Structure 1
């Protein structure tokens, strides 16, 4: 929920969050959007701006305020002053526009304000997989009217040495299995934390369980979970796993069996080392784990980086794109574009090959 400084509910913002809940968005998305909406409403209240009619100049000032205003200090007053990146400001503005559009549908914000949030844009260069239509009629789209122009960054992933370093730093079987599972299957952290024991088909033949998928595998299904974990992909899928991962799961089950509170819990990943014992692991628990591992390793490591690690590894080992797309649970072909890029080795090989051709060492 979103409340004012006088502890009064902001009804429009709360209705917006309720719409996210009805659309089956994850609790993390709802929490993130709540903070962004509250930030916008607080800015409007402090700067005398009508949040329902901010106008383009008002939204532009808000966008620049997001990067110019120092973030609250996390520690001592001597801590380094931090600022938001332009990419983060754009993400906040996207949520604000979505909030205002929702309010427009409810009649709380006028159509003129909603229409100002986007403008027509002609796509001279089409994203991979985009259908422009027979006559190019789909080349003209609606794009955000107010945003910072930022460089498109590649997805962050861990190279094999970094992954082995992170895996080696785990001290508990549960944590080791979680890290290995994310890297081996490419599942999102919400999908991993939402796994139930019934999803773990780790025998060579699962027909006795009513499953016709051959070999050891895990099932990813979208369902409501008590720990707030939610699979983003709406279509269920199965992902094959290796014998090594099965062994890590067996090690984890042995560790888990030592905790009585976890005995009858159906969730795969549960609290074993701190209260409440036996409760399903949350996003916060997983983030704490990866933060600790990253500090020990000396480089950035987040759960989603292992998803990118899996996809990048598959692509670079010549796994067909449609297979990788299915393993990742992607719907659009364009979602695969970030993983299809040349490695440093590919570029070095190309340059050296051309040099060798020029020197007559090899034939073109």
Structure 2
């Protein structure tokens, strides 16, 4: 099985299809991908779904089943197959084994498969998705503004969804941020780090920036969704937003344009390759990942692009920002996502509050 990138006439961005071992297009997946594209799914989402379905079809090949002939048990075994260290069906280990995929990763893959089967059922070629879901009458956690209008209606819940252990997100200290910035070899890399940390941008949003998105006179960055970028970096949301940044960041951007950026080859992309065979071309994801690997090796600080975004959001919450403001700044579609992800208490938070409690108690006793 292979995921193949293709370019379609009148489409400014690539699509992804699944090729079987005989180099034939898997027709059901191709039609499903076309459906995702027609309904406005982001190119990165379509790419991810194609790779998730590749895993599923590899599993189907192992068990000798066609996608429209699977049973409840087959999907259940697929969940186990995804977490199996051997990747084999019906292989059980006596000793505990570390899963090759985290629960969150398995859930994302299963969601893609469930979406695929929902599509097949709507086409009338599959008739078993009802066994893949439980029905519940009321959500256990967040109740939306219009909850009263739908509270008596049954809601579908994926029965194969694994329980995910709640983990505190990893953030960096101010000292670590400073160390990483000092370790950067050029102004371009420093701006990338500052946009991720100070602006809370996603890496796709950073790489997709054009010069017209940078409002230097008002210290603002516009996050604009575009259907196509040469470096295949896309903004996750189609909703445009504006992020305020510091004068220091804008000053660094101006220096970068003056001293490092080549106007003749750079075009309108903000971040380009400054050397090598790809000189002047827009920076791609793998180049940023290489940058973070170099920084980790140089400083000993374990860091990822998203960790800088997490750090920014956590600092805003700790400084008293309302979750609705943080949601808008980060570009979350739902404020509950912001609350679930960032409104958390670390051990240091608990320790600090307890120290405040002790201090107040001592003051009262004096």
* TM-align CA RMSD: 2.6
Distance in 2 separating the partners of 1:135 and 1:149: 25
Distance in 1 separating the partners of 2:188 and 2:149: 53
CA offset at residue 295 of structure 1? 3.3
CA offset at residue 179 of structure 1? 0.7
Is residue 177 of structure 1 aligned with residue 191 of structure 2?
yes
CA deviations 1:29-62 (Å, max 9, x no partner) are 2222211101110111121123223211111111
In structure 2, what is the equivalent of residue 269 of structure 1?
271
Is residue 290 of structure 1 aligned with residue 295 of structure 2?
no
CA offset at residue 64 of structure 1? 0.6
In structure 1, what is the equivalent of residue 8 of structure 2?
none
TM-score (norm: length of structure 1): 0.84
Q: 1:33 is matched with which residue: 14, 29, 49?
A: 49
Q: 1:310 is matched with which residue: 302, 309, 312?
A: 312
Aligned residues: 338
CA offset at residue 354 of structure 1? 4.3
Matches within 5 A, 1:175-254: 175-203=189-217, 215-224=218-227, 225-254=229-258
Is residue 120 of structure 1 aligned with residue 135 of structure 2?
yes
Contact 2:44 2:234 in 1 (8 A): no
Q: 1:45 is matched with which residue: 45, 58, 61?
A: 61
In structure 2, what is the equivalent of residue 94 of structure 1?
111
Contact 1:290 1:301 in 2 (8 A): yes
TM-score (norm: length of structure 2): 0.83
Q: Secondary structure at the match of 2:222?
A: strand
CA offset at residue 240 of structure 1? 1.3
CA deviations 1:149-188 (Å, max 9, x no partner) are 2212233332322322222221121111111111111111
In structure 1, what is the equivalent of residue 159 of structure 2?
145
In structure 2, what is the equivalent of residue 61 of structure 1?
77
Q: Secondary structure at the match of 2:68?
A: coil
Q: Which runs of 5+ in 1 are unaligned?
A: 72-80, 204-214
CA offset at residue 355 of structure 1? 4.6
CA offset at residue 17 of structure 1? 2.2
CA offset at residue 86 of structure 1? 2.9
Contact 2:137 2:152 in 1 (8 A): no
Deviates more, 1:126-135 or 1:140-149: 126-135
Distance in 2 separating the partners of 1:25 and 1:299: 35
Deviates more, 1:237-246 or 1:345-354: 345-354
CA offset at residue 123 of structure 1? 4.3
In structure 2, what is the equivalent of residue 77 of structure 1?
none
Contact 1:193 1:269 in 2 (8 A): yes
Q: 2:347 is matched with which residue: 322, 344, 347?
A: 344
**Larger RCO (alpha carbons 8 Å, 6+ apart):** 1
Deviates more, 1:11-20 or 1:123-132: 123-132
Q: Secondary structure at the match of 2:48?
A: helix
Distance in 1 separating the partners of 2:175 and 2:37: 40
